[in-house]
């Protein structure tokens, strides 16, 4: 209860401070004439093709396309801990999309997190990362979006309650969490490293999922890409360090490239939200860019050792129960040694999704099944069936606890209450 009171007080303070900032220093919208881009430039086929590729890198369609809807026409409602925010139409429809936007309007949104009329944008639009995108790349993306067929689809209403619907309070939030500025190459690093850093930190916006957030939704990015629960989704995005104690400890450059290209590698398979990222975005990246991303991720520092589980829970009976369930239900595919079958069934031994701190990912895959993305490099992926109907809460908790503590794994046990919560959590 005390924590709730503190959060409410802090939010009210942010609203008041944000209101003062808004009245004293509202940024005026950028004039379309400030930096005009000719119509001929926007119709350049090479620029449009470059923009299409960059929009794919940024996975823009994932948010700006509702299920069954026209691509980039908006309509998808994005759930956040603070309420629902609908993604807008970004086709060139003049009434409901970007048809009347200038490039400077677009640049202002991408780089500064402000709408066409200077209004503050909610950071569910990841301008905290997109600000790093260069001016030339932003121009290419704008040219591509302007080349799309216009789709008339009005915006859905905002689903935020007070005080989150007070847009001026975002001034205070931005002061705490937003640092505007394009990516600056590190002259001491290689070209590949800088390209990877630019893609990961900017358009790829990997930190938006793979970093913990505080109660106000701000990213805690130190250390970078250290893993975190995806806001409003019951999935955990693992730590991306390949060094000692990292979530991808021991992964090679090729392991990373394989996962991003095909959805599967010798060290694991993409499930949940990451499967969608691979299917829509990373499988289409050029090999040079995939290797650049891997080069950057491999440079992330080692992490502090994870303390051994000190739970007072006597897990001997649970582990025995879990071992039996595993032998009956899992061993035929994943092997008695937990190492799976290369190219078919992913290993569970040393698997980052198995060992992540919360246990959410393993529980959800056991309950709901695991569905790897269909990609050009893996057109007939093997899937794991759901066991929600075959296993009760006790069995699921036991088998996940067993997997998380078998072989080289040393993660915390899972309780029945964790399974109950995740059994009724929506997939998306």
Cα separation of 65 and 84, whole Å? 15
Helix axes 272-280, 360-368, angle to 10 degrees: 80
Contact 353, 367 (CB under 8 A): no
What token pair was written down for 192?
A: 């590949």
Is 316-423 a domain of CATH 3.30.70.1230?
no
- Rounded CA separation 81/419 (Å): 21
Q: What angle do CA 161, 174, 226 make, to 5 degrees?
A: 95
User: How much is the CA Rg of the chain, to the nearest whole Å?
Assistant: 23
Q: Which letter does DSSP use for residue 257 in this model?
A: H
Length of the chain equals 428
Give the Cβ contact number of residue 27 at 10 Å: 13
Show me where the domains of the chain are located. 2-177, 191-298, 316-423
| Res 225: pLDDT | 95
Local mean pLDDT, 10-residue blocks, the chain (428 residues): 43 44 41 63 97 98 96 94 94 97 97 96 96 98 98 94 90 95 98 98 96 89 86 88 95 97 95 95 98 98 78 86 98 96 92 93 95 95 94 97 96 93 68
Residue with tokens 């997997």: 403
Listed residue (269, 377, 276) closest to 333, CA to CA? 269
Asked if domains 191-298 and 316-423 share a fold, the reply is yes
CATH topology of domain 191-298: Cytochrome Bc1 Complex; Chain D, domain 2 (1.10.760)
The helix, strand and coil proportions of the chain, stated in percent and rounded to the nearest 5, come to 45, 5, 50
């Amino acid at each position: 209860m005390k924590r709730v009171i503190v959060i409410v007080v802090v939010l009210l303070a942010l609203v008041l401070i944000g209101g003062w900032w808004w009245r004293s220093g509202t940024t005026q919208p950028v004039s379309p004439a400030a930096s005009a881009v000719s119509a001929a430039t926007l119709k350049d086929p090479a620029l449009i093709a470059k923009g299409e590729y960059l929009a794919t890198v940024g996975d823009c369609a994932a948010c700006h396309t509702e299920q069954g809807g026209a691509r980039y026409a908006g309509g998808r409602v994005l759930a956040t801990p603070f309420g629902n925010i609908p993604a807008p139409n970004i086709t060139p429809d003049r009434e409901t999309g970007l048809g009347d936007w200038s490039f400077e309007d677009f640049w202002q949104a991408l780089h500064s997190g402000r709408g066409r009329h200077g209004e503050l944008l909610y950071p569910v639009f990841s301008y905290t990362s997109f600000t790093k995108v260069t001016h030339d790349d932003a121009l290419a993306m704008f040219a591509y979006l302007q080349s799309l067929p216009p789709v008339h689809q009005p915006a859905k209403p905002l689903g935020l309650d007070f005080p989150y619907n007070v847009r001026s309070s975002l001034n205070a939030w931005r002061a705490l969490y937003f640092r505007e500025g394009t990516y600056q190459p590190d002259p001491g690093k290689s070209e590949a490293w800088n390209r990877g850093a630019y893609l990961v930190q900017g358009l790829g916006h990997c930190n938006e999922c793979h970093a913990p957030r505080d109660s106000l939704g701000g990213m805690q990015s130190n250390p970078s890409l250290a893993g975190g629960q995806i806001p409003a989704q019951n999935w955990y995005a693992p730590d991306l360090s390949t060094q000692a104690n990292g979530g991808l400890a021991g992964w090679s450059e090729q392991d990373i490239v394989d996962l991003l290209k095909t959805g599967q590698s010798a060290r694991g398979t993409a499930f949940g939200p990451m499967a969608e990222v691979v299917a829509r975005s990373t499988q289409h990246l050029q090999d040079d860019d995939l290797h650049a991303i891997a080069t950057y991720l491999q440079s992330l520092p080692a992490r502090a050792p994870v303390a051994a589980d000190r739970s007072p829970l006597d897990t001997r009976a649970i582990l025995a129960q879990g071992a039996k369930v595993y032998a009956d239900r899992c061993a035929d595919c994943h092997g008695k040694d937990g190492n799976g079958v290369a190219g078919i069934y992913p290993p569970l031994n040393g698997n980052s999704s198995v060992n992540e701190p919360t246990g959410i990912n393993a529980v959800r895959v056991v309950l709901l099944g695991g569905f790897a993305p269909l990609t050009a490099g893996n057109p007939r992926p093997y899937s794991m069936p759901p066991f929600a109907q075959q296993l009760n809460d006790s069995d699921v908790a036991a088998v996940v606890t067993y997997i998380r503590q078998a072989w080289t794994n040393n993660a915390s046990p899972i309780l029945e209450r964790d399974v109950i919560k995740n059994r009724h959590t929506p997939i998306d």
